[in-house]
Structure 1
């Protein structure tokens, strides 16, 4: 097998959570370009269908489903329906910032942890069972550099904690499932330019901390994270499991 052929996903099926926009849509696109059939899921069912339609216009094999990853039973039902999924990308997540820990409400804590950590585990568990039965599969979790460092100047203890937990969950599952043919890795992005983060350009203080604190002196783009996910999902990363790949423009170097 040639090196380049290891990047091909032809004949495989990939499911991407939070796939309707940002990193999720870029990842759905990248995996489709790699040859995979895509199951694009998102809590916003209309957005998921619109994104899938755009990809189908390019000739890709894509279906869309609404899914709230915090609903364990719904996740299990979808996994049982699509028990042939070869690649799972756990991208669904939220960030709620500028909340001091001492002022944080129960909901402000649990709403983030339920999606970023619990929902990710429900997906890993449900789809992982079928992968283990078949003796093969690749899972890629979207963590964050916030699982390594405490971001400045915004207070976001619940987000940072949830992403650090994602990294350790990734390692734990990798260690358990490697002998049975299932690889589990994660990517840890820096600040990524999406509709949700462009407000940084209007805040000199945030700009200094976010971009001024990054050796590459810029934010990342969704397709730059999607490229890492494509690699981790492919046979090109066949020796990798339990890895947390930082894609942070050098932010954690300083």
Structure 2
């Protein structure tokens, strides 16, 4: 039964692999048996920590610098993945940013940057990954969205972020339908409040208490708790699952 969840023999590509959810999922895919290519900004030196963690598991890994808003960077990364690790079979797109501002005061550049990275970056990543996988008629992509793609978080002034994550959910469904007959599955994971570095800063300590109180399970998720859902959606255990937005929110959306 556990072989259903094995990624042995798979080659994975993870964006946003230097920290947070992306870093933990990348290591988790290696724990499940995959060789993993890591992609993040060239300035993200913490990607080397991810690389070392994967290699310590006996899996192959490469670290690639680039920007998810650059199709050329992603195409070059795909070429390196396939030359160094082998044919790409699965991908997780985690790269994203968040910030806040009242909508009536938000400058266009702030709106545009969040949309460019969180939504256009996911599209360009999927596009590059699909170009590698579609000719072989096999593969799986998981995009990291957010529960903020389907609800509006009380007290958080982030119209741009919410809009970008709603777009990721519907983009994932749209691509799933375009590519279903060609052997490529596409799904999304929508985390709830999660203990990423952004939410571990001292200045948001009081806000964390609110997040915990508003979540039915009375706590925030750990990044470890995003690994299982990602492995499930990428593995043979989810071979008949495509176009799904999997909520991992501690029951938040039930309220």
- Please indicate, yes or no, whether the TM-score normalized by the shorter chain is above 0.5: yes
Once the two structures are overlaid, the 10-residue window that deviates more, 73-82 or 31-40, is 73-82
2:93 corresponds to: 90
| Deviation sequence 1:195-243 (CA, Å, 0-9, x none) | 2102478554x24541111100100000101111011010100010000
Asked if the contact 1:49/1:65 (under 8 Å) is kept, the reply is: no
Asked if the contact 2:13/2:91 (under 8 Å) is kept, the reply is: yes
**Please, which runs of 5 or more residues in structure 2 have no aligned partner?**
none
Once the two structures are overlaid, the 10-residue window that deviates more, 45-54 or 104-113, is 45-54
Pick from 177, 181, 189 the counterpart of residue 183 of structure 2. 181
**Please, which runs of 5 or more residues in structure 1 have no aligned partner?**
none
CA distance in 2, matches of 1:45, 1:86: 25
1:71 corresponds to: 70
Pick from 4, 26, 29 the counterpart of residue 28 of structure 1. 26
How far apart are 1:72 and its partner, in Å?
1.4
Between the two proteins, the alignment pairs up a number of residues equal to: 250
Asked if the contact 1:45/1:65 (under 8 Å) is kept, the reply is: no
1:6 corresponds to: 4
Change (3 A) 1:202 1:186: closer
Give the 5 Å matches for 1:1-254: 3-43=1-41, 44-83=43-82, 84-97=87-100, 99-199=101-201, 203-204=205-206, 206-207=207-208, 209-254=210-255
How far apart are 1:165 and its partner, in Å?
0.2
Normalized against structure 1, the TM-score is what?
0.94
CA distance in 2, matches of 1:147, 1:188: 8
**SS of structure 2 residue aligned to 1:155:** coil
| Deviation sequence 1:101-147 (CA, Å, 0-9, x none) | 01001111011111100011111011101211010000000000000
Asked if the contact 2:31/2:57 (under 8 Å) is kept, the reply is: no
Asked if the contact 2:68/2:124 (under 8 Å) is kept, the reply is: yes
Normalized against structure 2, the TM-score is what?
0.94
What root-mean-square deviation, in Å, do the aligned CA atoms of Structure 1 and Structure 2 show?
1.5
